[in-house]
Amino acid sequence: MPARIVRERGAQRVEVPFDKALPPRIAIFTPGRGCTQLPIGARADAVRLPPALEGMPNLKAADARTWPLGDARAEAKLPAARQKALRAVAEKAFATDGYGADTRTSAVLVVHDGRIVAERYRPGFTRHTPQRTWSVAKSLASALVGRAAMLGLVDASRPATIGEWRADGDPRATITLDQLLRMQSGLWTNGPGNRTDAVYFGGATVTETATAAPVEAAPGSRFRYANNDSMLAAHAVSSILGLRAPDFPARELLWPLGMTRTTVETDWKGNFVLSSQVWMTARDLARLALLHLNDGKAGEARLLPEGWVAAATSPVGPQPEPGRAGPMGYGRAIWLLGAENGLPPGSYAFLGNRGQIAIIVPARNLVVVRRGFDPHGIAFDGPALVKDVLAALGE
CB of 296 closer than 8 Å to CB of 303? yes
Q: What is the pLDDT of residue 192?
A: 80
Which pLDDT belongs to residue 337? 98
- Residue 201 is assigned to a structural domain of this protein: no
Strand partners, 372: 105
- Whether 149 is in a domain gets the answer no
Please tell me the distance from the alpha carbon of residue 36 to that of residue 26, in angstroms, as a whole number. 8
Please tell me the predicted confidence (pLDDT) of residue 191: 83
For residue 169, the 8-state DSSP code is T
Kindly state whether residues 271 and 380 are assigned to the same domain.
Answer: yes
Residue type, 131: Q
pLDDT of residue 394: 95
Does any domain span residue 15?
yes
In a domain, 147, yes or no: no
Whether 271 and 361 map to the same domain: the answer is yes
For the cut 90, the answer to whether the pLDDT of residue 7 exceeds it is no
282 plus 370 within the same structural domain: yes
Domain extent for 123: 60-134+261-393
pLDDT digit string (tens) for 347-357?
999 999 999 99
Summary mean pLDDT of the chain: 96
Which residues in 247-258 are b (16+ Cβ under 10 Å) and which e?
Answer: bbbbebbbbbbb
Q: Which of 52, 78, 94 is the last residue of a domain?
A: 52
47 located within any domain: yes
Q: Give me the percent of the chain exceeding a pLDDT of 90.
A: 91
Domain shared by 67 and 16, yes or no? no
Tell me which residue of 208, 315, 247, 259 sits closest to 55, measured CA to CA. 247
Sign (positive or negative) of CA dihedral 310, 312, 313, 315: positive
pLDDT at 9 exceeding the cut of 70: no
Average pLDDT over residues 177-182: 98
User: pLDDT tens across 291-324, in order?
Assistant: 999 999 999 999 999 999 999 999 999 999 987 6
289 lies in the same domain as 336: yes
What is the pLDDT, as a whole number, of residue 325? 63
From the list 288, 298, 294, the residue with the least C-alpha distance to 365 is: 294
pLDDT above 90 (res 269): yes
Q: Which residues pair with 131 in a beta bridge?
A: 280
- Whether 45 and 65 map to the same domain: the answer is no
pLDDT-based confidence at 1, cuts 50/70/90? Answer: low
Q: State whether 298 and 365 are in the same domain.
A: yes
**pLDDT tens digits for 197-208?**
999 999 999 999
Do 279 and 385 share a structural domain? yes
pLDDT category of residue 6 using cuts at 50, 70 and 90:
confident
In a shared domain, residues 119 and 67: yes
**Does 183 reside within a domain?**
no
Least-confidence region, from 101-115, 182-196, 249-263, 268-282: 182-196
- Average pLDDT rounded to a whole number, residues 275-288: 98
The reply to whether 115 and 45 lie within a common domain is no
**How many angstroms separate the most distant Cα atoms in the chain?**
67
Segment 241-265, tens digit of pLDDT: 999 999 999 999 999 999 999 999 9
Q: Is residue 142 part of a domain?
A: no
C-alpha 143/C-alpha 333 separation (Å) is 9
CA 342/CA 337 separation, integer angstroms: 9
Average pLDDT on 79-99 reads 97
Answer yes or no: do 14 and 70 share one domain. Answer: no
Q: How many domains does the chain have?
A: 2
In a domain, 163, yes or no: no
- Are 37 and 18 contained in the same domain? yes
- 113 contacts: CB under 8 Å, gap ≥ 6: 76, 365
Q: What is the CATH number of the domain that holds 375?
A: 3.40.710.10
